[in-house]
Amino acid sequence: MKKSQRMLGALAAIVAVGTVGETASAATGEAMFADVPSGHWAYAAVEQLKQDGLVKGMQANRFDGNAIVTRYQMAQLVASALAHEQQASSADKKMLNKLSHEFDREIESLQNLAKRVDALEKHQKKTEDHFAVHGYFQQTVEAKNHAGGDTAKSRWWAKEFYLNAEANLPKIAGDWKIKTQFETKMGGDRFNEEHLMSGKNSTTNQIYANPYNGGHLYDELFKPNLAYLEGSLGKIQLWTRVGILQPWVQNGFVYAANLRGLMLEHWSKKYNWHAFGGVVDSGDGDLAVGAGAQYDNAAGDWKSEISQPWNDNVRAHENYYVVKTAETNWQPRLSRDGKTPLSEEDQQKILDNGGTGSDNAKGSLTDMFYANKRTKKTAYGIAYDRMYSKKFTYSLGAYRYTSAAYNREPLYIGAVSFDYKLMPKVIFRGTYAQGNQHGTNSHSRGWLADLMWNCNPWMSAERAHAFGAYIGYHYLAPDSYIRCGYGDGIEKGQKGIELGMYYNFTRNIQYTLKYGFGKSLTYNYSNDRQRDKLYSGVFCYF
């Protein structure tokens, strides 16, 4: 009987909603369960059990007037009483025993139902607890206006789909999980004519995204992007991630690239600290685009200064010029002073190391993406966050970056950022970062200042009809970060004013609009340095 009591106890929550007080009309012979006749002894028995407090949470007093109930409904009442049998008197126990024999088939049916519901709930809980899938889709457009040159105006439509999956490891592993992300990227210059992004030139078959150095080719659906283990290290509560992951510290100003390595974090009420290190798992072009020799068609000769007219995110360890002399057989060659050409050996060494300001190891002065050289990049960082008061928080960070962009000489960066709450929904954010590379053509001091209303600077899509906006000045100097997470309006390698807004049409569907207007920091021709960009997108989360 004890086993039955445990099962009937589990039935209590189920049968509580099946009260006899709900309309129990007189049933016919065609009903699924036969009626209990109005003069049946069970009515009086259950009424007595009700008065003795054994039938709980159910209306048993005269069964809602003179309503006749079915045998199944009567079994629900008996099951309720059996669940409280320990409180019953000897007389009530005899009555319960008689009732259970009378309605044993119906009670067995209830028990089977309880088993099925219990198994379904366990399966659902196990699925929810051990595996989860979420992600988002975005449709965006970028409209750029770069004054001067052949690329004065451009539009780029993009569709991107990100699918995230996570699963708990067995209990013996504690709270550890495995997390992955798959992505699909499509782009083009016309809406709904986007194509899968490819890392190859269709004519030369040359690889643009460098697979040797973390480059990803987007010529397939759902390419793997992230894959890492995540969990805490025992009692010390040190949150750990290992694998291909993306550190996110100091709002992503200094570093926002994937990393093949390790990240450790500790969280408390007043302060947090984060440390990471490993190999940068991002393509060369994602981190910096090479400045190369430019040919002046009007003059019919090479421009003396190395530049990159279509991208301002150019790193520069040294300032190089292009010269042609009798010594070079009137062929273009690099020069440090604009007069004396380097030897072919020195030039090749610089090009192989990407020393003209690129993470790409180039084979010639104009070859921007030469992927047959390994340009391994490593990054290490540590950041400390402190909540000084309810209104003021700050963060300090230090980073080390090694790559071909700086001839393998480490780029050290120090950064500080803070948030100050002016009003409940208004925050002023400041960030300053400085690198140690101070070459003639370097830009090592970067900063931003944003006034944000209801956003930080990105806004959650959880609340329907929420609205947020910001305005700020961004100075994204390329030698002050490793890979900057900003760039929707004022792009990397530029300076200027950026403003934006967010609006949630409904929960998990968000629209954003951003606009930046400023100048290039790295393009050397003053009359063509003006920049402006409009960014718009719809984001759907699930």
- Given its phi and psi angles, is residue 390 left (phi above 0), alpha (psi -120 to 50 degrees) or beta? alpha
Q: In angstroms, how far is CA 540 from the centroid of its own chain? A: 13
| pLDDT digits 0-9 by tens, 265-282 | 998 888 999 999 999 987
Is position 334 within any domain?
A: no
- Share of residues in the chain with pLDDT > 70 (%): 73
Q: Which long-range contacts (CB under 8 A, 24 or more apart) does 428-433 make?
A: 428/452, 429/251, 429/457, 429/472, 431/250, 431/251, 431/253, 433/253, 433/254, 433/397, 433/480, 433/481
Residue located via tokens 């283990």: 229
Is position 355 within any domain?
A: no
The whole-number pLDDT of residue 211 equals 47
Residue 455's Cβ-count burial label (10 Å; 0-12, 13-18, 19+) is: buried
- Share of residues in the chain with pLDDT > 90 (%): 36
For residue 3, name the pLDDT band (cuts at 50, 70, 90).
very low
Is position 73 within any domain?
A: yes
Q: Are residues 41 and 133 in the same domain?
A: no
Is position 121 within any domain?
A: no
Shortest CA distance to 385 belongs to which of 276, 275, 233, 240? 275
Q: Are residues 133 and 16 in the same domain?
A: no
Would the pLDDT of 160 be above 90? yes
Q: Are residues 53 and 7 in the same domain?
A: yes
Domain count, the chain: 2
Q: Are residues 97 and 141 in the same domain?
A: no
For residue 403, name the pLDDT band (cuts at 50, 70, 90).
confident
The whole-number pLDDT of residue 210 equals 47
Q: Are residues 137 and 270 in the same domain?
A: yes
Is position 216 within any domain?
A: yes
Q: Are residues 163 and 236 in the same domain?
A: yes
| pLDDT digits 0-9 by tens, 179-191 | 999 999 898 888 9
Would the pLDDT of 72 be above 50? yes
Is position 341 within any domain?
A: no
Mean pLDDT of all residues in the chain? 79
Q: What is the pTM of this model?
A: 0.70
| pLDDT digits 0-9 by tens, 486-498 | 999 999 999 999 9
What's the CA gap between 99 and 91, in Å, rounded?
A: 12
Taking residues 360-382, report their average pLDDT: 63
Q: Are residues 155 and 83 in the same domain?
A: no
Would the pLDDT of 196 be above 70? yes
The whole-number pLDDT of residue 350 equals 72
- Residues of the domain holding 521: 129-285+375-541
CB hemisphere CA count around 194 (13 angstroms): 21
| pLDDT digits 0-9 by tens, 31-55 | 345 677 767 887 787 787 788 777 7
